[in-house]
């Protein structure tokens, strides 16, 4: 209840920032000139604002793409020319009709989770070496959503992931957002176990009207009518990503879930370590 009240009135949380804070405000005074940041989905909406503010703070920004070939090109370019301390997995789709990716994977799961799982793994060794040689902490962020609380009953439909008869667009979106948190948590555990100087966290940016919602105009319009006080502008929506990526207070913080620039407690499924490990193994098999 306290968190909801903070969100409604924009009251700052323990970090000193809240739902009313903008991406520029939470990064004021931060020098990111030694940072190279890859942002997926950075050509519009939250990704574009995140990219703009990162560049404003001096970072070298690369806009990533979804498909595997483009991801490999990004990896090659980064490997040849740039050091990589930051990866923001921002791209996504929402409530789309049932469809399969080119690799035969349900589209919301493929786009929101699996593509980012693959890209992260492709870039991870480069991030580790950069963190080791420069002493700059690497940070990986997965954009999740409060929608992670509403997946399928079992959380992840491992056995019926691509079954059109079992598909529900809203539950499938919740499943993919749950996967984002589970991925971050398991990645954080593995990196910590290795002693790598890299953190991994997940983020709920808030309710923001962007082209992500193009498949659900009627539902979103109705939702907004009942929750208007909770909606943010795009600069406010990008604040948590920028805060987690650049703020000094985030040093060493890993395996956490953030909303309104403050740590929050995700659902019990999102905190299930066994489920996170199962998803990791499942995802590895799919991308192999």
Dist. CA 273–CA 288, nearest whole Å: 23
pLDDT at 222: 58
Number of domains in the chain: 1
CA–CA gap between residue 239 and residue 235 (Å, rounded): 6
The Cα–Cα gap between 196 and 139 comes to: 11
Q: Residue 85 has what pLDDT?
A: 82
Considering the chain, what is the average pLDDT of its residues?
Answer: 88
Q: Which helix (H) or strand (E) holds 185?
A: helix 169-194
Least-confidence region, from 78-87, 109-118, 239-248: 78-87
Q: Which long-range contacts (CB under 8 A, 24 or more apart) does 209-215 make?
A: 210/44, 210/45, 210/46, 210/234, 210/237, 211/44, 211/45, 212/45, 212/92, 212/93, 212/94, 213/94, 213/95, 215/93, 215/94, 215/95, 215/96, 215/97, 215/169
Are 137 and 131 in contact, with CB atoms under 8 Å apart?
yes
Over residues 104-154, the pLDDT tens digits come to 999 999 999 999 999 999 999 999 999 999 999 999 999 999 999 999 999
Does the predicted model carry a pTM greater than 0.85? yes
**The two three-digit tokens of residue 172, written as one number:** 């499938």
- Give me the pLDDT at residue 22, please: 96
CB 220 within 8 A of CB 213: yes
Partners of 38 in the β-ladder = 62, 87
How large is the average pLDDT for residues 255-274? 97
Whether 167 is a known active-site residue: answer: yes
| CATH code, 53 | 3.40.50.720
Whether residue 213 has pLDDT greater than 60: no
- Residue 243 has, within 13 A of its CA and on its CB side, a CA count of 29
The DSSP bridge pattern shows strands 60-64 and 138-143 to be unpaired
Q: Please tell me the predicted confidence (pLDDT) of residue 1.
A: 42
SS3 assignment for 202-241: EEECCECCCHHHCCCHHHHHHHHHHHHHHECCHHHHCHHH
Classify residue 106 by its DSSP letter. Answer: B
Q: Name the most confidently modeled range: 2-11, 129-138, 193-202, 203-212.
A: 193-202
- Can you tell me the distance from the alpha carbon of 8 to that of 285, in angstroms, rounded to the nearest whole number? 42
Output b/e per residue, 111-143; b: 16+ Cβ within 10 A: bbbbbbbbbbebbbebbbebbeeeebbbbbbbb
The percent of residues above 70 in pLDDT, for the chain, comes to: 82
* Chain center to CA of 20: 20
Q: Tell me the DSSP string of 37-96.
A: EEEETTTSHHHHHHHHHHHHTT-EEEEE-SSHHHHHHHHHHHHHH----EEEE-----SP
User: How far, in Å, are 56, 101, 126 from residue 74 at the CA level?
Assistant: 22, 20, 12
Question: CB neighbours (10 Å) of residue 85?
Answer: 23
pLDDT exceeds cutoff 80 at 215: no
The single residue of 95, 167, 243, 257 carrying the catalytic annotation is 167
Range of the domain at 203: 2-287
How confident is the model over 4-55, as pLDDT tens digits?
Answer: 556 656 689 999 999 999 999 999 999 999 999 999 988 788 988 999 999 9
């Amino acid at each position: 209840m306290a968190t909801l009240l903070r969100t409604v009135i924009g009251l700052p949380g323990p970090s000193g920032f809240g739902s009313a804070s903008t991406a520029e405000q939470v990064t004021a005074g931060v020098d990111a000139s030694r940072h190279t940041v890859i942002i997926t989905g950075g050509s519009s909406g939250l990704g574009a604002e995140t990219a703009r503010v990162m560049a404003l703070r001096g970072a070298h920004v690369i806009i990533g793409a979804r498909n595997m070939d483009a991801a490999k090109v990004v990896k090659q370019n980064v490997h040849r020319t740039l050091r990589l301390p930051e990866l923001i997995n921002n791209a996504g789709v929402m409530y789309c009709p049932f469809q399969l990716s080119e690799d035969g994977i349900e589209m919301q799961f493929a786009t929101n989770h699996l593509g980012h799982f693959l890209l992260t793994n492709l870039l991870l060794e480069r991030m580790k070496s950069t963190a080791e040689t420069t002493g700059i902490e690497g940070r990986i962020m997965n954009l999740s959503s409060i929608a992670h609380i509403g997946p399928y009953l079992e959380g992840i439909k491992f056995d019926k992931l691509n079954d059109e008869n079992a598909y529900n667009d809203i539950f499938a979106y919740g499943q993919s957002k749950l996967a984002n948190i589970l991925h971050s948590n398991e990645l954080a555990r593995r990196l910590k176990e290795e002693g790598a100087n890299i953190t991994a966290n997940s983020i709920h940016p808030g309710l923001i009207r962007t082209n992500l919602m193009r498949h659900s105009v009627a539902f979103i319009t109705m939702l907004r009518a009942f929750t208007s006080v909770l909606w943010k502008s795009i600069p406010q929506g990008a604040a948590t990503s920028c805060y987690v990526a650049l703020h000094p207070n985030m040093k060493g913080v890993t395996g956490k879930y953030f909303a309104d620039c403050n740590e929050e407690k995700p659902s019990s499924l999102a905190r299930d370590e066994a489920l996170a490990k199962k998803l990791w193994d499942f995802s590895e098999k799919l991308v192999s």
